[in-house]
Structure 1
Amino acid sequence: MAQKGVQLNRESFSCSICLDLLKDPVTIPCGHSYCMKCIEDFWDEEDKRKIPSCPECRKTFTPRPVLVKNIMLATLVEQLKMSGLQASPADHSYAGPEDVACDVCTGRKLKARKSCLICLVSYCEKHLQPHYDVAQLKKHQLVEPSKKLHENICSRHDEVMKMFCRTDQQIICYVCTVDEHKGHNIVSAALERSEKQKELQVKQENIQQRIQDREKDVKLLQQELEAINVSADKTVEDSEKIFTQLIQLIQKRSSEVKQQIRSQQETEASRVKELQEKLEQEIAELKRKEAELKQLSDTEDHNQFLHNYPSVSAFSGSPHSSSTRAHPLRYFEDVTAAVSELRDKLQDILRDTGTNIFLKVTEVDVLVSEPEPEPETSAALRGYRPPRPHKRIGSRKTVQRFSSPRHALSFDEPEDL
């Protein structure tokens, strides 16, 4: 008996929100007491709906009450703790703020295990037992605990709504069938549910089929993506090798031309230097003869003049005997012209073949789906089949080319080689 009294005391001084002994207890206007933090958190959540209420009796308060610590209750809790009463672990059989409470329980309510759509009442495990034992109650429809049982009551006639008006597509009660829905196409809610369930099952099957088709499409697209990446990487690698070879070939040809020009430069320069030396020797010889002629011309002794004349005048060179001919100052300009011509031809080739290369890059096989509208009527729904998977538009030889600016590619002319 002593143990039972302690248990009663523990429950009397426990918060119905956290199910633990009261901490900083406060008493709200309806008389129920809670931990200050528990009720503040509960009301903070309810502030979103602007209706502070008591978690136990559901009484609402306007405005929100100001909480003040209950000194006497706090003192009692402390005395109970000192007397050996410890906080009991949370009893998960009691209903919390977010749980559906048993409508039959009095005082502190237990969690509901089932809700009855006939009784429109939620029951804990104890009060639910008659629905398993009593023959008449066994026929009632039990569902998972619900806070929306009131939605099954007709607001006009306060009767359980068990009928369905197909004319107005509305759930109604028996009284509604002879009142505002008189003459309408009315069936039981169970029958309508059965029909809707069949349509729902077909929709579920169609959706499942579409999910499978889309998963296959995703797998195909993933394979396509991997193939694109592998092919692109290999093509980039091969293209870099080819362009590197092309650059090396041009560099080699440039080096050969340069070497040939330098060789020819050396040959021509040597020939010119040799001719230049000969001409300089000839100039020196002519200057010497000129000096001898001048010396002979300046001789005053006639006999001496006539004596030396035959030896001095023996020079047979002609002032026009030089074999040097003037050339236009062009030299290697013809080579430059030939290289320029090669550059122009390469530009033409690169322009034509480059455009073709970029067209090849933009040629793709496009995977497209052919969506079909989903049926709306039940008859069409039963005959509906999901669309076939993606069809490939075009083949490897006939492809769709993108022409949008985003995919348009141009080939810039290379700079002068």
Structure 2
Amino acid sequence: MAQQVIQLDQEKLSCSICLDLLKDPVTIPCGHSYCMDCIKNYWDENETHSCPQCREAFIPRPALVKNTMFAELVEDLKIAGLPAASSDYAYAGPGDVACDFCSGKKLKASKSCLVCMASYCEHHLQPHYNVAPLKKHKLIEATSKLQDNICPHHDEVMKIFCHTDQQCICYRCLMDEHKDHVTLLVSAERAEKQKNLAGNRHGIQYRIQNRESDVNVLKQELEAISLSADKALMESEELFKDLICLIKKKSSEVKQKIRSKQKTEQTRVKELQEKLEQEISELRRKDTELEQLSLTEDHIHFLNNFSSLSHLDKYTDLPSTYDHTLQYFQGVTTAVLQARNKIKDLLSDEWTKIIVAVNKADVLLPQEEPTTRGEFLKYSCAITVGPKTETKPFSLYGQASYGDYSENSHVQSNEVLNGPCYWEVKLTGIATVGVAKKYDSYSGSSNKCGLGSNYESWALKYSHGSYQFRHGNILTSLSGPQSSTVGVYLDRRAGILSFYSITETMNLLHRVQTSFTQPLYAGFWIYWNQGNSLELCELKETSDTKS
């Protein structure tokens, strides 16, 4: 029983600053006791003379007198041979945030206060849980970046975000150089940016999926190149046996050229594969950083890092090569077979054909997608709808009747689009533009046959300035500069379909990277209501390139 009493006294006789038994104990006017050196150092380091526990301020600075009774009790505890401290708190190590109120060896801070602009260990944090005014303070996980929340000009906490200058400011800045600017609370700006962050993560994850798909395509390309090259070698050597005496030298040259071409193509594909795998790794790292940023409770840290982390670098698009997978070296076999059946005096002519066939065994690696409107216009294509004699750009209006076009029906182009192809449409109200396979009829429920309602069509829906992408009857909201003019870029063989909002620049709204297995046609749809319209723009093709 006596030992329990001593243990209780030990806890009461510990200094709340150093968390050790009191040394030269003194009691300040509010009734709390500290080591004389601890409270002196605390007051020396602060402008106000207040109690570290209850925050009561004293003017003037109190004189400190040793508490004799507490000093005797501390000596009794030392004689009893009990541990010098009863705290289980961990001391701050390298990389840890130290408590701002511990003297001597500092404990590890568990929370930082965005009002006090200080970090606290569990012991010194207790007033924030017990004292009514302190309970209203904003506590976050301990951070060493509290100084980033302080205005460098006025030494005050920055609680305002200036939209005009895109920076955090304090209230004094608001009354001075930012007086007439558009401002709001940092918490409100954080909430808005948080919404965008989710969209950025979605974009990164979507790009990761595309890049992983591209890597798989390249792996298949490597295997197909090897199989096709090996098959060509085997068949060519069999055919050359009949002409071995005449074309032994030529056979060796063909073999060397095939192997050389195979090595060249495989090297190109491997380099692109490594680049894409590196891009995937970078995207995963960036996604992790964005996830960590989304979880931080420090608004300033969030805003200071949002722009750099949310920026997505441009990546190289990968066109599809499925139509050519098994044909890389097939022409070699054909050419050799023809050469075998030719007479000796025609051998030189047939040899030329063989070399041409080897050189045509190209892998269709990515070509850069256009970036400027001028570059896109090089691929502008003429699209007609309805009677094939009609060549002028067409228009659809929701308030009118169009003969063969029934209510809420879809319209398709007469032309098959392989690409690269580019066209623009001007949209008003609610309208949809996209591509799809050829349908005999578009009549019926839009949920069954509408653009984007199945897996054989892809569509962009425009609704009074907002955009949605639709495929497989799944709608995905898109963000981007508002424009009633939308550009569509299709390269079927490369497997690329892109939608752009056209302002002064080309603004990518959505890109599809897939394998288009069927012929595609341009598709259009407007909702049959007053004020909705869709007009195909007349584009001027460049003189050197036509779709």
**TM-score in same-fold range (> 0.5):** no
Higher normalized helix content (fraction of residues): 1
TM-score, normalised relative to structure 1? 0.44
Bigger radius of gyration among the two: 1
